[in-house]
Amino acid sequence: MAATASEGPFSRALPWLVPLALVILWQVSSSLGWLPPNILPAPTAVLEAAWTKLQDGSLIDNLGVSFARAMSGLIIGGAIGFSLGLLNGLSKTGEMLLDPTLQMIRNIPHLALIPLVIIWFGIGESARLFLVALGVFFPIYLNTLHGVRNVDPQLIEMGRIYGMNNRTLFLKVILPGALPSIFVGLRFALGVMWLTLIVAETIAANSGIGHMAMAAREFMQTDIVVLSIVIYAILGKLADSATRALERKFLAWNPAYAKV
Amino acid sequence: MSSQPTGGSRVSLKDVKKAFGNNVVLQGIDLEIPAGQFVSIVGKSGCGKSTLLRLMIGLDSVTSGVLDAPALKAQAARIVFQEPRLLPWASVKDNVAVGLGEGQSGQAADKQAADILEEVGLKGREGLWPSQLSGGMRQRVALARALVSQPTLLALDEPLGALDALTRIDMQALLEGVWQDLGFTALMVTHDVGEAVALGDRVILIDHGHVVLDLAVDLPRPRKRGTPEFAALEGQILDKLFGDDPRAREAH
């Protein structure tokens, strides 16, 4: 019965069954020697690597560096995308002036700019920030613009009839109306953010998780390479959960987001 | 009920004309609406009845003629649309507070909002989201939002048009009760002749931009639909609307 499947401890454990089975299968294959460690190390070896890296402090350092890069890029690119999205959503002139250009640039994969970015910024911190900011800019810009544009015009007329000034109209009607769409943009942007950071750190960096993985590759330390991949997965999942929590808080009025 | 009577205000139109470009929508409209009257406005789609309503509460301006409505100068005219137009992200209480306008908050405002919610029968639902309410309840919130600033003139543009038949009957009684309690002047556009007769002190029929019938409804309230007097008035309006075409009347 559907009703019994959605309740109780069994249903809460259900999503974990397949990942757990995979890890067990992986461990058994490694222990029996079917998987040579230079192809894929055992889960226990990855855990051991994590423990060593934790103890010498390098894991926390690299994690901190990567996290700071991701967040700075997100804040810079996200703030510009959000502002331009609002501007072009609210002003017809702004949209006619800027939107066609932005739509054109949007079609260039931002990672294709890497050679140019290295020439402009060298391989320093600014190159990586630029790439992450550029990557997160477009999803946030497009979804903010779309959200503002799609606020129910009947609600805007209602606000005007009740004497709302532009500021109140924006804060009480337009911004809350655009918020679901802005959150969609944020979740897209988080995906792009990690992807860009991995690529940027793998190509040119002397710190961060991506650098840790590339340095380990040179010494065939597959356990540390796998550890880096697992860390990226965890970071991505955490970012997604944080967004979901924000959605639940700010979109509680929307039946589609309440208690999902 | 806890809301105090607000009283009504008169509306007078002299030789009013409204045109959009070359398209004349209303012409030669002369109406005297005394304070506190409940006026039902009926007519076929596109006859100009909604335009007349928008003129009388200042959402559109007259092309020529004189419109005199003290409620407009006092900013005491409000409208309820067919759709409730509630902010989905604001609670019932916050939606009603929109009707109080800028910078109105504090205890007095809270009291006003609470009183009007009680008046429309929504006491205890202040904290709910609009998505948690039925269609009839949402329209009650819209009514409370319109009334919370104590308007003397209330326009209703097919306010019950989107509701199911049983909820409509319920809401007609509510509307009549609130109007009797508060005493504002009510102008209601409807396509339902029975509803117009049940609620109006007077039924105005608009056809091709003119007032073709202005009928006083002198029946005791609350009105019973089955009575011969009620049916006679309904018949008189339908005759004027459709002439002698029996098939059109049947369809209505």
**Percentage above 90 pLDDT, chain B:** 73
Complex ipTM: 0.84
Measured in whole angstroms, how far is the alpha carbon of residue A123 from the centre of its chain?
23
Going by pLDDT thresholds of 50, 70 and 90, the confidence category of residue B96 is very high
Using CA atoms, how far residue B150 sits from A203, B154, B193, B237, in Å, is: 68, 10, 28, 33
Measured in whole angstroms, how far is the alpha carbon of residue A105 from the centre of its chain?
21
Going by pLDDT thresholds of 50, 70 and 90, the confidence category of residue B11 is very high
CATH number of B11-76+150-251: 3.40.50.300
Angle at the Cα of B85 from the Cα atoms of B200 and A175, rounded to 5 degrees? 160
Candidate from A157, A162, A176 with C-beta closest to B89? A176
User: Would you state the pLDDT for residue A70?
Assistant: 93
Going by pLDDT thresholds of 50, 70 and 90, the confidence category of residue B232 is very high
pLDDT at residue A89 tops 50: yes
Chain A partners within 8 Å of B90 (Cβ): 172, 176, 253
Going by pLDDT thresholds of 50, 70 and 90, the confidence category of residue B74 is confident
What integer is the mean pLDDT of A58-67? 91
Candidate from A163, A172, A254 with C-beta closest to B87? A172
Is B209 an interface residue toward A (CB < 8 Å)? no
The DSSP result for A24-81, as a single string, is HHHHHHHHTTSS-TTTS--HHHHHHHHHHHHHTSHHHHHHHHHHHHHHHHHHHHHHHH
User: Would you state the pLDDT for residue B247?
Assistant: 62
Distance, in angstroms, between B91 CA and closest chain A CA? 8
**What is the pLDDT of chain B when averaged over all its residues?**
90
Is A154 an interface residue toward B (CB < 8 Å)? yes
Instruction: Report CA dihedral (B164, B165, B170, B172) to the nearest 10 degrees.
Output: 100
Is A165 an interface residue toward B (CB < 8 Å)? yes
Which of A161, A181, A254 to probe by mutation at the B interface, max B CB count within 10 Å? Answer: A161
Cβ distance B88 to A172 less than 8 Å, yes or no, reads no
Cβ distance A179 to B89 less than 8 Å, yes or no, reads yes
Candidate from B79, B87, B129 with C-beta closest to A173? B87
Domain boundaries, chain A: 55-250
Residue of chain B minimizing CA distance to A168: B102
CATH of A55-250, one of 1.10.3720.10, 1.25.60.10, 3.40.228.10, 2.60.40.10: 1.10.3720.10
User: Would you state the pLDDT for residue A6?
Assistant: 54
Which of A172, A173, A249, A253 to probe by mutation at the B interface, max B CB count within 10 Å? Answer: A253
Closest CA to B56 of B186, B215, B160, B179: B186
Is B89 an interface residue toward A (CB < 8 Å)? yes
- Residues B30-61: tens digit of each pLDDT: 999 999 999 999 998 888 899 999 999 999 99
User: Would you state the pLDDT for residue B6?
Assistant: 82
**Percentage above 70 pLDDT, chain B:** 94
Going by pLDDT thresholds of 50, 70 and 90, the confidence category of residue B1 is very low
